[in-house]
Amino acid sequence: MGRYVIRRLLQMIPVFIGATLLIFLMVNVMGDPVAGLCGDRQCDPATAQRLRTDLGLDKPVWQQYLTYMGNVFTGDFGTAFNGQKVTELMGTAFPVTIRLTIVAIVLEIIIGIALGVVTGLRRGKPVDTGVLVLTLVVISVPTFVTGLLVQLLLGVKWGWIKPAVSAEATFGELFVPGLVLASVSLAYVTRLTRTSIAENRRADYVRTAVAKGLPRRRVITRHLLRNSLIPVVTFIGTDIGALMGGAIVTERIFNIHGVGFQLYQGILRQNTQTVVGFVTILVLVFLVANLIVDLLYAVLDPRIRYA
């Protein structure tokens, strides 16, 4: 196991470098950051040149990237155009988005797996058909439509929740935005669990467990569910980074000042340091989440061994 972890960590290095390089190149060609600094007015040539020199934009792109990566390994993600350190923006944004992601993942796991088990064990019955139709509707409706409808009905019309989240962004306030954020993923988890449960019900090890006279709950939890969760865990593991990086729409709707909000502001103002810095952290989240998922395979299925 230890040798496998070390090998995977070494494999993550070129992936991290390649991903950050691609992001750095894409962000640097999406527009002129100096033009964004000057706002609606056009910068005069002398001011524009001075800004490019101060920001290091007058150097070749490859040199800018090497300088940036050298600073990253020392914990320096640069400075935003408003003079604030990017690490300070991360310190305020990431805790909020992490809380939002935790709420979304917990709802995704509890509701999605529970519905998947129920429908998988009752395949072809009315409850199965109803849940399948419901999940198909959720998948078909864009997140921004779901979020706006929930905000309008629960927040504005009925007054059950606050239409906008406060600056503290507590777990209680993030429950509804987390449900909106997790809605599509929750539907996929339900369908994945249902399909896996339905397929594994006919497996030999399940029939053997039933023939031994084991209680139904133990057959489902210890044998059927444990082996059926492998594709679900794979999806949830990769979904963690997607939820953190894809929360832009949800955070904009509910006025949550998290990672999505800062990325939106960075793209809108062509603030390359902010965008690249935040996406660099999200790349690390993706890589670590995938490593944890691979290690969980051996926990769920004892037959899997890592050399």
* SS3 state at 43: coil
Q: Is 189 exposed, middle or buried (0-12, 13-18, 19+ CB in 10 A)?
A: buried
Which are the contacts of 123, defined by CB distance < 8 A and separation ≥ 6?
194, 198
Q: Which helix (H) or strand (E) holds 185?
A: helix 175-200
CA geometry: angle 33, 37, 41, nearest 5 deg: 115
User: What is 221-236 written as a DSSP string?
Assistant: IIIIIHHHTHHHHHHH
What is the spatial distance between Cα 187 and Cα 4, in angstroms, rounded to a whole number?
33
Q: Quick one: CA dihedral 238, 241, 242, 244, positive or negative? A: positive
What is the spatial distance between Cα 221 and Cα 203, in angstroms, rounded to a whole number?
15
What is the spatial distance between Cα 54 and Cα 44, in angstroms, rounded to a whole number?
16
Name the CATH code of domain 93-269 (choices 3.60.15.10, 1.10.3720.10, 1.10.10.10, 3.30.530.20): 1.10.3720.10
Cα 51 to chain centroid distance, Å, stands at 35
What is the pTM assigned to this prediction? 0.81
Considering the chain, tell me which residue range(s) the CATH 1.10.3720.10 domain(s) occupy: 93-269
pLDDT per position in the chain (307 positions), as tens?
Answer: 677 778 878 888 888 888 888 887 777 666 666 665 665 566 667 766 776 676 666 777 777 788 878 888 887 777 776 667 888 888 888 889 889 989 999 999 999 999 988 888 888 788 888 988 999 998 888 888 888 898 888 888 888 888 888 877 888 888 999 999 888 889 999 999 888 888 888 777 777 777 877 787 787 777 787 778 888 888 888 888 778 776 788 888 888 888 888 888 877 777 777 888 888 888 888 888 888 877 777 666 666 666 5
Which are the contacts of 292, defined by CB distance < 8 A and separation ≥ 6?
237
* SS3 state at 123: coil
* SS3 state at 56: coil
* SS3 state at 158: coil
What is the spatial distance between Cα 192 and Cα 288, in angstroms, rounded to a whole number?
23
